[in-house]
Structure 1
Amino acid sequence: MTDVSARPESPPSGPTGAAGRTLAVAAGAAFIAFLDLSVVNIAFPTIAASYPGTATSTLTWIVSGYAIAFAALLTPAGRLADVLGRRRLFALALAAFALTSLLCGLAPGADWLIAGRVSQGMAAAFMVPAALALVLAATPREKIGGAIAVWTAAGGFAAVVGPAVGGALVESLGWRAVFLVNVPVALALIVPGLRLPGADERRANTLPDPVGTLAVAVGLGAVVAAVTEGQTWGWTAPGTLAALLGGAALVGFALVRSRRHPEPAVAVGLWRSRQFALANAGSFLFTATMFAWLLAGPMFLDALWGYSVLESAAALTVGAAASMVSSVLVGRITDARGQRWAGVTGALLYTSALVWMSTDAFGPDPALWSAWVPAGLLGGAGIGIVVTVLGTAAARALPPQQFAVGIGMNVTSRQVGGALGVAVLAAVFTAIPDDTLRAFHTLFAVCAALGGAVALLLAVPSLTADRTQE
């Protein structure tokens, strides 16, 4: 990611209007990048029905493949923006995102769709840090906090409208439309992106460590593949063990190499901060359980309650709206003690919703108002609180000159956790193939256990402390 220490105190573009235009374009890019996570969740049952000969565990790579590629390349992509020029890379990444979205929308088979999603995640990985770097370069220092809040809110808004947008597109045009809609949006951002003020100078001369970057990407993919396909291959099968152990070894190798390399693939030095390490651990665990729950929701409504895509979208929007409201409210809490207890409360709200969903209250008979809506409100509110508290904790742990790097690392932790969460979902359903309801109850119980672990982590005082008080 980009080091902001080298940029001048006042941005070259000067006027607030120019900074506002940069923020608008960058927020648009963040919106479409994160929208693709939530719209695919609502479309997943329909996509799966289109490929009846492909195992569910394999189809989950439509979701996790995007997250893995995004996570693995996010940090080195920031350095590449410094080498090639931020504005130039941003435009190229937007064009690649449009092209890979087109590939997904026209995919003739499941293999093509998975390949398209991985490629789309790679494009998003280059697009997001370049957009953030442009915002940081164009915004006066005293306004950076507000700009980052707007940029982050664009991703949150994508999560809120994702179910409704995805449901409407799938119902009216089919699942391919959730990918094809990205094409005109991404192309529309390219021209204003190229016209953003300020010179597109190169701020670095060397690329991030290619060996470490490749090791991280391959290692993460191998670990998630082992977890996803372990039930199918056999947990003690040579292929599973090779993928699991080999992937872990590659990730470990990349981390060790990054400690000594002058242009590391992973900014491991940031983890020396106890607060930052705890925030990233919390982000990893919570996103794992959150991704599994968000993907399981439309599957549950489709498989057990027989909801249409639009009915599922409406039901899921309840939790998304609660998440948006709670995140805004908790964002107004500024003291460390208040943040800590808000985070614990949010994690407990989320956990209680998942415990409830693992019981017979969620059975084969629809119970929208008596069960789904209240559980969605509890869980959604908890998600909004926890994500905001963990994001704030990560930002508080960072000195200003490493803010962009740290935000990128935090997003990486979330994406890796999300990919593994989807893999756990696949493993649970592969382990319990003949009892769908029991599989859902088991998954919700696992998600609840992870939520409880996050509550304990959030109770640690040093996680939400201000750096100036340490």
Structure 2
Amino acid sequence: MTDLTHPQPTPDPAPDPRPAAESPTATTAPTTTAALRAAESSSAPTASPAARRALLVASGAAFMSFLDLSVVNIAFPALIRDYPATAPATLTWIVSGYAVAFAALLTPAGQLADALGRGRVFLTALAGFALTSLLCALAPGADWLIAGRFLQGAAAAFLIPAGLGVVLSVTPPARIGVAMAAWTAAGGFAATVGPAAGGALVDWFGWRSVFVVNVPLAAMLIVAGLRLARGERRHPHGLPDPVGTAATGVGIGAVVAAVTQGQQWGWGDPRTLACGVGGLALLALALWRSRRHPRPAIAVTLWRSRSYARVNAVAFVFGATMFAWLLAGPLWLDTLWHYSVLRSAGAMTVGAVAAMAGAVVAGRAPGSWQRGLGVLGALLFAASTFYMSTDAWDATPALWTAWIPAGLLGGSGIGLLITVLGTIAAESLPPQRFAAGVGMNLTARQAGGALGVAILAAVFAAHPAQPLTAFHTLFAVCAGIAVAAAVLAALPVKEPIA
């Protein structure tokens, strides 16, 4: 990896002034956040008011963005009723369009945030998220709603890496773990309670309310975050390669679309093959250009850090099992235990609270404990999903003896591992590339999540008349994937000597 000239200002009163030119082929190792953390005294500095404000605003934005990844699922039956002239297969793009756009643009969004200014991009994305949410709420027809969801997902893709990049740039290196814990807890809570919250809103106010609530929330976050862009400057190297940026976004989006829609279209369907093969070809083009272009669309130099590369691999693998588990939970409560929306909401908070607790533990733990806590998190999740695959879980509701133990294990495992992955990823990055690095890390997790959703769909398609068997099979697969993530996280990493 290489040093970047003119680094963004950090809260350290004495930053390292040594610049070095960046090029795709340079071999000089950058000053990473881990190195800065190691250079600090053993007593971690307290966070400044600016750092606390940035964390609060970015965590609120993460909650809002990740909530919208799942909150619409529960509104889907109401959408089918309101748009009877539109085929249900077409309406599924209301759900998947957001996820496809979100995953597709995370990597280029991170690059653009580093180039244009993270605070500036973050506030613009917040405004865009509010406007696209309003478009969805006022959509006169299904086509407008689908378009609005694609645009909403695009706004969220810029919101997340830019917001977390702002947080990391103003947070002392020794407190990055604490910041990642808070940010992870916000996103994890949203993903866990999203289906139940969506159901409550739909029951009480109709499906349009799930979009309306974003508008005042985004407005409050904009007001609270107006200072985030103050004093920012554009990156001296300019915007990344536009051809590579377009190829990256379209390529990732096409691959995610193929994975998420493959079960519905058919894996041999020309649409699935075109999206999959075409997307991979575009990604190959983007990588080829990024290795040669002076302003690469994909920060390939970051992958020379074996620690960063391994974190992304674990994020991809664990993302598959985590997303399948998060989606299967509400389905189990509804299909087998016949819980009401509000009762499901209460049950889902078990995993959410456990995830927040796990995130806090991982965020406050010493750096030397991080890898071990990550492995422990994956194994706790594996234990939870294995337990859910046994005969102890059946169609008889057992909140205290089945759901709560599994939720505590699985939720705490998610909180531990996701926080550890975010912390290690941030500490592997030079401060000038926070948003780009975060964007790629989240892309890996979302791509894994798309695979997990496809696995869920395939398992249920194989057992259409046996839902209990389908759930047990799915949870057994999830347990195996979680063990694979634990093994991958446990592998030692030795960085090459520059």
TM-score, normalization: structure 1?
Answer: 0.85
- Cα 1:19–1:99 change in 2 (3 A) is same
Is the counterpart of residue 6 in structure 1 residue 14 in structure 2?
A: no
Distance 1:182 1:456 in 2: 39
Is the counterpart of residue 441 in structure 1 residue 472 in structure 2?
A: yes
Is the counterpart of residue 456 in structure 1 residue 487 in structure 2?
A: yes
Partner of 1:413: 444
Partner of 2:36: none
Q: Does structure 2 conserve the Cα–Cα contact (< 8 Å) formed by 1:67 and 1:416?
A: no
Select which of 114, 128, 137 maps to 1:96: 128
**Aligned AA for 1:7?**
Q
Question: 1:329 offset after TM fit, Å?
Answer: 1.9
Select which of 196, 203, 206 maps to 2:235: 203
Q: Does structure 2 conserve the Cα–Cα contact (< 8 Å) formed by 1:45 and 1:298?
A: no
Distance 1:292 1:47 in 2: 23
Q: Which moved more, 1:152-161 or 1:51-60?
A: 51-60
Q: Describe the SS at the equivalent of 1:260.
A: coil
Matches within 5 A, 1:229-378: 229-336=261-368, 338-378=369-409
Q: Describe the SS at the equivalent of 2:364.
A: coil
Matches within 5 A, 1:153-164: 153-159=185-191, 162=194
* Identity rate, percent: 64
Distance 1:318 1:352 in 2: 16
Question: 1:393 offset after TM fit, Å?
Answer: 2.8
Question: 1:281 offset after TM fit, Å?
Answer: 0.5
Question: 1:287 offset after TM fit, Å?
Answer: 1.1
Q: Which moved more, 1:326-335 or 1:347-356?
A: 326-335
Distance 2:266 2:496 in 1: 51
TM-score, normalization: structure 2?
Answer: 0.81
Matches within 5 A, 1:12-91: 16-40=48-72, 43=75, 61-91=93-123
Is the counterpart of residue 174 in structure 1 residue 174 in structure 2?
A: no
Select which of 400, 418, 421 maps to 1:390: 421
Cα RMSD of the aligned pairs, angstroms, is 3.4
Partner of 2:24: none
Unaligned runs of 5+ in 1: none
**Aligned AA for 2:149?**
R
Q: Does structure 2 conserve the Cα–Cα contact (< 8 Å) formed by 1:305 and 1:365?
A: yes
Question: 1:129 offset after TM fit, Å?
Answer: 3.0
Cα deviation 1:431-468 (Å, max 9, x = unaligned): 44343333333322222221121121122122xx7x79
Question: 1:40 offset after TM fit, Å?
Answer: 3.9
Question: 1:376 offset after TM fit, Å?
Answer: 1.5
Question: 1:126 offset after TM fit, Å?
Answer: 1.7
Q: Does structure 1 conserve the Cα–Cα contact (< 8 Å) formed by 2:58 and 2:164?
A: yes
Cα deviation 1:320-360 (Å, max 9, x = unaligned): 11111122223333253x43333333222211222232334
**Aligned AA for 1:438?**
T
Unaligned runs of 5+ in 2: 14-46
Distance 2:451 2:267 in 1: 16
Question: 1:53 offset after TM fit, Å?
Answer: 8.5
Question: 1:284 offset after TM fit, Å?
Answer: 0.8
Distance 1:10 1:341 in 2: 30
Question: 1:150 offset after TM fit, Å?
Answer: 4.2
How many aligned positions are there?
463
- Cα 1:75–1:247 change in 2 (3 A) is closer
Q: Does structure 2 conserve the Cα–Cα contact (< 8 Å) formed by 1:287 and 1:414?
A: yes
**Aligned AA for 2:335?**
A
Q: Does structure 2 conserve the Cα–Cα contact (< 8 Å) formed by 1:68 and 1:415?
A: no
Q: Does structure 1 conserve the Cα–Cα contact (< 8 Å) formed by 2:6 and 2:236?
A: no
Distance 1:4 1:129 in 2: 21
- Cα 1:420–1:113 change in 2 (3 A) is farther
**Aligned AA for 2:482?**
G
Question: 1:205 offset after TM fit, Å?
Answer: 5.8
Q: Describe the SS at the equivalent of 1:331.
A: helix
Question: 1:82 offset after TM fit, Å?
Answer: 5.0
Distance 2:468 2:51 in 1: 51
- Cα 1:277–1:322 change in 2 (3 A) is same
Q: Which moved more, 1:382-391 or 1:430-439?
A: 430-439
Question: 1:181 offset after TM fit, Å?
Answer: 0.6
Is the counterpart of residue 225 in structure 1 residue 257 in structure 2?
A: yes
Partner of 1:214: 246
Question: 1:60 offset after TM fit, Å?
Answer: 5.7
Q: Does structure 1 conserve the Cα–Cα contact (< 8 Å) formed by 2:308 and 2:425?
A: yes
Q: Describe the SS at the equivalent of 2:392.
A: coil
Distance 1:390 1:48 in 2: 38
Select which of 118, 143, 155 maps to 1:123: 155
Cα deviation 1:90-120 (Å, max 9, x = unaligned): 3321121011112333445555444322211
Q: Which moved more, 1:99-108 or 1:151-160?
A: 151-160
Distance 2:212 2:415 in 1: 29
Q: Which moved more, 1:92-101 or 1:144-153?
A: 144-153
- Cα 1:389–1:328 change in 2 (3 A) is same
Greater per-residue helix proportion: 1
Distance 1:130 1:84 in 2: 10
Select which of 184, 198, 213 maps to 2:216: 184
Question: 1:146 offset after TM fit, Å?
Answer: 4.9
Distance 2:151 2:284 in 1: 24
- Cα 1:50–1:339 change in 2 (3 A) is farther
- Cα 1:383–1:438 change in 2 (3 A) is same
Partner of 2:456: 425
Q: Does structure 1 conserve the Cα–Cα contact (< 8 Å) formed by 2:115 and 2:240?
A: no
Q: Describe the SS at the equivalent of 2:210.
A: helix
Distance 1:411 1:348 in 2: 21
Distance 1:141 1:349 in 2: 28
Distance 1:461 1:127 in 2: 33
